[in-house]
């Protein structure tokens, strides 16, 4: 490992980005390194529990993923987070203050990525979704904003970047996705798939009350996506089936807002890796982190994408044959029928298990730690 190093982590309250980034930060701290952080105030306390000396970013709009989203959420996130100028000067000020050996920057924070390049410090960008998202759905957005990106680069004495992709691939990028799940034909050598960087999972045995009925786990977004109506329809659909169901609401939804049947248990949070080893079906919004957990454990999935990058991820799961996709507006009857069909589908179970087996030797958290330690 060599001498302990000092890292600066620059991130934001994006819900799905935090689990892999927190895992990486905890692993670095456990190995004797120091990790400083800049993030939204809403997650500084959480990062502090991981051992990160985190300070709130100044100069940009407050944001908390657990609160109801603003009107036109995507426009808000792009303008006030992903292309928020404040993250650039804040990174530069933190470099002066903490004197890090290396930088860890969330891939969405464009001005922070540019500022990191200007420091000359070893930089690793952290991508919590398939790289395909950047090369596909986001390419139009990044192209339209490239002049603004390059204007900031010029202020810092950098040459213009030919594309947003060129900016990101100029340093090592850790992609928290499985290579076989990410449809990128020939990624640049700097793009390294390290999987979701989860820590060791449990057996799942403590979550089964009975072994004579299928166990269905429901896990929708940990951020607020107005998902209460969908959660209730799922509770209603599961309540008429001969299954055991565990519904997790996340930090943005109080469990008492739901009316579950006697066969359904509702918790605000359960580590999905603790349940999935014994689950027969995962019902998910197709958030990338949840889908990665599902495919790693070989559990068939019913994907109910609600927005963001979820339709792309749900479609990929369906084309791999490890799950099916339904509308997040589906009725109780439609949800019931989709759950019944997947529980009866031996083929999807077989494909899900085979895909999980193919991931057995995929690089993971230890590989990611080694890369950033040696960058």
Task: Say how far apart CA 80 and CA 60 lie, in whole Å.
Answer: 7
pLDDT in tens, 52-108: 999 999 999 999 888 887 788 889 999 999 999 999 999 999 999 999 999 999 999
**225 pLDDT band (50/70/90 cuts)?**
confident
> For 75, which DSSP code?
H
Whether residues 168 and 26 fall in one domain: yes
Whether residues 171 and 226 fall in one domain: no
Structural domain includes residue 366: no
pLDDT top residue among 221 and 84? 84
Query: Which of 197, 230, 246 is the endpoint of a domain?
Result: 197
Whether residues 39 and 157 fall in one domain: yes
Reduced DSSP (H G I as helix, E B as strand, rest coil) percent helix, strand, coil of the chain, to 5: 40, 15, 45
Asked if the model's pLDDT at residue 172 lies above 90, the reply is yes
| Nearest CA among 223, 226, 220, 230 for reference residue 328 | 230
Whether residues 239 and 337 fall in one domain: yes
Structural domain includes residue 12: yes
HSE (side-chain half, CA atoms, 13 Å) at 287: 23
Q: What is the mean pLDDT of the chain?
A: 93
Whether residues 91 and 192 fall in one domain: yes
DSSP notation for 256-274: GGS---TTEEEES---HHH
Query: Which of 147, 174, 197 is the endpoint of a domain?
Result: 197
Asked if the model's pLDDT at residue 207 lies above 90, the reply is no
Whether residues 183 and 218 fall in one domain: no
Q: How many domains are contained in the chain?
A: 2
Task: Say how far apart CA 115 and CA 153 lie, in whole Å.
Answer: 8
Asked if the model's pLDDT at residue 223 lies above 90, the reply is no
Q: What is the pLDDT of residue 201?
A: 57
Structural domain includes residue 374: no
- The H-assigned helical ranges of the chain are 18-30, 41-49, 73-77, 87-98, 110-119, 131-135, 139-144, 146-155, 164-168, 228-239, 272-275, 288-296, 310-319, 332-343, 346-358, 365-373
Structural domain includes residue 242: yes
Query: Which of 197, 219, 249 is the endpoint of a domain?
Result: 197
Whether residues 105 and 142 fall in one domain: yes
Whether residues 193 and 320 fall in one domain: no
What's this model's pTM, rounded to 2 decimal places?
A: 0.93
Structural domain includes residue 370: no
Whether residues 32 and 175 fall in one domain: yes
Asked if the model's pLDDT at residue 30 lies above 70, the reply is yes
Structural domain includes residue 364: no
Q: What is the pLDDT of residue 7?
A: 98
Q: What is the pLDDT of residue 269?
A: 87
Structural domain includes residue 273: yes
Structural domain includes residue 368: no
Count of H helices and E strands in the chain?
16, 13
Whether residues 193 and 210 fall in one domain: no
Whether residues 184 and 209 fall in one domain: no
Whether residues 318 and 278 fall in one domain: yes
Domain encompassing residue 162: 6-197
**251 pLDDT band (50/70/90 cuts)?**
confident
Which CATH number is 95's domain given?
3.40.50.2000
pLDDT in tens, 210-219: 778 999 999 9
């Amino acid at each position: 490992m060599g001498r302990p190093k000092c890292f600066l982590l620059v991130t934001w309250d994006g819900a799905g980005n935090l689990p892999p980034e927190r895992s990486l930060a905890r692993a670095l701290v456990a190995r004797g390194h120091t990790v400083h952080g800049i993030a939204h105030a809403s997650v500084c306390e959480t990062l502090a529990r991981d051992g990160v000396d985190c300070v709130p970013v100044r100069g940009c709009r407050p944001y908390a993923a657990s609160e109801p989203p603003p009107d036109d959420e995507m426009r808000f996130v792009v303008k006030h987070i992903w292309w928020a100028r404040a993250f650039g000067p804040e990174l530069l000020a933190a470099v002066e203050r903490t004197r890090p050996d290396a930088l860890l920057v969330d891939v969405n924070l464009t001005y922070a990525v540019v500022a990191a390049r200007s420091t000359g410090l070893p930089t690793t960008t952290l991508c919590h979704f398939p790289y395909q998202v950047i090369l596909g759905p986001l390419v139009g957005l990044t192209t339209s904003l490239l002049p603004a990106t390059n204007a900031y680069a010029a202020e810092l004495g950098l040459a213009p970047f030919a594309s947003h992709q060129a900016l990101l691939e100029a340093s090592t990028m850790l992609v928290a996705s499985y290579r076989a799940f990410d449809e990128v034909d020939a990624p640049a050598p700097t793009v390294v798939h390290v999987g979701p960087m989860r820590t060791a999972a449990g057996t799942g045995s403590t979550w089964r009350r009975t072994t004579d009925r299928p166990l269905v786990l429901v896990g929708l977004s940990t951020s607020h996506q107005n998902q209460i109506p969908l959660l209730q329809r799922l509770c209603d659909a599961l309540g008429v089936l001969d299954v055991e169901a565990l519904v997790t609401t996340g930090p943005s939804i109080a469990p008492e807002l739901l009316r579950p049947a006697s066969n359904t248990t509702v918790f605000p949070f359960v580590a999905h890796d603790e349940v999935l080893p014994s689950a027969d079906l995962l019902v998910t919004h197709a958030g990338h982190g949840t889908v990665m957990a599902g495919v790693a454990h070989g559990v068939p999935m019913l994907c109910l994408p609600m927005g963001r990058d979820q339709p792309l991820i749900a479609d990929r799961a369906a084309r791999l044959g490890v799950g099916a996709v339904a509308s997040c507006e589906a009725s109780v009857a439609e949800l019931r029928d989709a759950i019944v069909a997947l529980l009866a589908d031996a083929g999807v179970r077989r494909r899900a298990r085979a895909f999980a087996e193919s991931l057995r030797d995929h690089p993971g958290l230890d590989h990611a730690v080694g890369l950033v330690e040696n960058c």
